[in-house]
Amino acid sequence: MNKKARSGMILALSFLNMHEEEQPLSKDHSHIRDMLTTIVSKWQSKKFDIQKSVTVAWKKFSSLVDTEYEVNTLAFAFNLILKNPDIKKHRTLSTLTLEAQKMFMFKTEQNIVQSKQIVNRFYSKG
């Protein structure tokens, strides 16, 4: 899994955890979070430096939102998962996230639109 893909999964997990602090996750959303936790914990068991990856992911995210942005935490996390370069390796996670993402599909609120734009920039080259 490449660095961008790992950073995206870590950031998605972070945003799901932040959302849960504000309000409880639904059963499906909790299942997605549990799957992400399993994926990330596998990296940790392979002597992967999680702390460094978390720092890199948050620095990249911070650089993309240098001004005050308001993003929908769930929409942002789901977009990070679905647009992840290595999502094909995790079909079950992809399917669950697609189902959960349907609630945001046709919404045009500014925070959801900004979530999509930031994810596109996060995974873009550069």
The answer to whether the pTM exceeds 0.75 is: yes
The residue behind tokens 């948050």 is 58
Rounded to an integer, what distance in angstroms lies between the CA atom of residue 31 and that of residue 103?
17
Report pLDDT for 105.
67
Question: In this structure, what token pair is assigned to residue 88?
Answer: 């094909």
Report pLDDT for 55.
84
Number of domains, the chain: 1
Cβ 81 vs Cβ 40: under 8 Å: no
The domain in which residue 17 lies consists of 3-123
Cβ 10 vs Cβ 54: under 8 Å: yes
Q: What is the pLDDT along the chain (126 residues), one digit of tens a residue?
A: 688 888 899 999 999 998 999 999 999 999 999 999 999 888 876 667 778 888 888 888 888 776 666 778 888 899 999 999 998 999 999 999 998 888 776 677 777 778 888 888 888 865
DSSP 83-124: T-TTGGG-HHHHHHHHHHHGGGTT---HHHHHHHHHHHHHHS
Cβ 11 vs Cβ 81: under 8 Å: no
Cβ 122 vs Cβ 60: under 8 Å: yes
